[in-house]
Amino acid sequence: MKNVGFIILLFLLVACHNGSKETGSFDEKILLTGEVYEKDIISMVPVHFKLIDSTFFLLGPDRQSLIKILSEDDASEIGSFGSFGSGPGEFITPYFSSVSIKDSSFCLYDMSLSILRKYKWFRQNGVFTFNNVEEVKFNDENTVISFLHKMDNGFSVATILTGQEKPLVLLDRDLKIVKNFGYVPQNKQITDFSFYQGCFASYGNKLVFAMNDIGYIACYEVTSKGEVTKQWEHFVTQPIFSGDTDRFDPELNRTGFYDVQMNNQYIFCAYSGKEMKLMNSGPGALVPETLLVFDHAGRAVKSFKTDKAIGRIAISPDANIVYGSYSRPDVGIVKYDLSDWLKEN
């Protein structure tokens, strides 16, 4: 079962307002050369990774543990957590739903088990201890969700596979559906939303959703009362639909976002923009080499061309440093300091 979990995790890696829709407009790309951690630290690209209190939490980077914990300074391994499998407390297809420095906690949602688990961690004398403090199951028998993100205000959001009329749902603390919302760029009724999956990021009440297969990104305000208001949306590239059936043609379109993160000022996006037909060129052909930065108001701030193809990103909370996981020609982590570029804004 552990091998099955890793196969599904690899699949997940390639599956992250009231005004009018606009096309995001950026100036010419700025070439970024990153600082590479020299150590042989991981054997495969993580499904997710987060920077928490100067510590990397890498989800699914190898077969030895669920999460590998590394020091931000030199990427040395300082701990691990969990395991893949179908036994008690194990995971099949997990990913981070939230992390919180305030109470030293993180949540993992397992798409196969439909379970959200919250853990608190403690570190004493260099040793990490983890306690499972909460477990909630999604039980709506008519709806299938995939990626779930937990916000600071207690609500969660998730992408829909089937069972709803729109691609996103708002969930309460018990994972009961509060609202179905989101945008689909097709002029027909959709029942299968597998094409409209994506990645979430949030800061306070602001929620960002970026689609994987389309260059579409949107920002919502989610209040403590569960009211959802679209603040802005952009098409970095416009999707092309052809024929009387309004069919999406991979031969004519470009891949969207692999990951999105945000801090108190900016939204950071690992954006591919590569022609979908390149997927036949081999593994990693569509992995992003573009890092886009928006501000919270949706303004296009900077576009960077990275020297590594980075599929997953993590950010420092305050310093505008972006870390990327890369897989070519080897596997590792690269650091990009954007402070000088962003201070002029």
pLDDT at 40 over 50: yes
From the CB of residue 12, how many other CB atoms can be counted at a distance below 10 Å? 18
Whether the predicted pLDDT of 12 surpasses 60: no
Assigned token pair, 165? 């009329």
Highest mean predicted confidence (pLDDT) among 60-69, 168-177, 230-239:
168-177
DSSP reduced 3-state for 196: helix
Return the DSSP state at 73. T
Q: What is the mean pLDDT of residues 171-195?
A: 91
Terminal-residue alpha carbon distance, the chain: 49
Residue 272 β-bridge partners: none
Answer whether residue 7 shows pLDDT above 50.
Answer: no
Q: What would the two tokens of residue 319 be?
A: 């310093």
The distance between the two most distant Cα atoms of the chain, rounded to a whole number of Å, is 65
At 241-283, the pLDDT tens digits run 877 667 778 888 899 999 999 999 999 999 999 999 888 887 7
Across 200-217, average pLDDT: 96
pLDDT of residue 39: 67
pLDDT at 167: 96
Show the tokens assigned to 130: 């983890």
Label the pairing between strands 332-337 and 321-326: antiparallel
Of 3-7, 41-45, 83-87, 168-172, minimum mean pLDDT range: 3-7
Would you list the DSSP string of 74-96? T--EEEEE--BSSSTT-BSSEEE
Q: What angle do CA 258, 263, 265 make, to 5 degrees?
A: 115
Domain count, the chain: 1
* pLDDT, position 171: 98
- Domain of residue 34: give its range: 2-342
Strands annotated E in 111-246 = 115-124, 127-137, 144-150, 156-162, 168-171, 177-181, 198-203, 206-211, 216-222, 228-235, 241-242
Among 103-107, 161-165, 230-234, 257-261, the range scoring the smallest mean pLDDT is 103-107
Radius of gyration of the chain (CA): 19
Question: What rounded mean pLDDT belongs to the chain?
Answer: 87
Report the alpha-carbon angle 50-4-65, nearest 5: 40
Q: What is the pLDDT of residue 91?
A: 93
DSSP H helical segments within the chain, as ranges? Answer: 2-14, 339-342
Q: Which residue has the higher pLDDT, 61 or 281?
A: 281
| The predicted structure's pLDDT at residue 338 | 94
Quote the distance between the C-alpha of residue 89 and its chain's center. Answer: 23
For the stretch 275-328, pLDDT in tens is 998 888 877 899 999 999 999 999 999 999 999 999 999 998 777 899 999 988
Query: What are the beta bridge partners of residue 12?
Result: none
The model carries a pTM of 0.90
Residue 1 has pLDDT above 80, yes or no: no
Q: How far apart are CA 56 and CA 37, in angstroms?
A: 13
Q: Residue 331 is part of a domain; what is its CATH number?
A: 2.120.10.30
Pair 248, 241: CB distance under 8 Å: yes
Judge whether 146 and 197 are in contact, CB under 8 Å. Answer: yes
Chain centroid, CA 268 distance in Å:
11
pLDDT at 188 (0 to 100): 76
CB-facing half-sphere around the CA of 136: CA atoms within 13 A: 21
In this predicted structure, what is the pLDDT of residue 24? 52
CB neighbours (10 Å) of residue 198?
27
Q: What tens digit of pLDDT does each residue of 123-164 get? A: 888 889 999 999 999 999 999 999 999 999 999 999 999 999
Residue 10 confidence (pLDDT) above 50? no
**Average pLDDT in the 170-183 region?**
96
Residue 17 is predicted with a pLDDT of 35
Rounded-to-integer distance, Cα 166 and Cα 173, Å? 21
What pLDDT, on the 0 to 100 scale, is given for residue 3?
Answer: 44
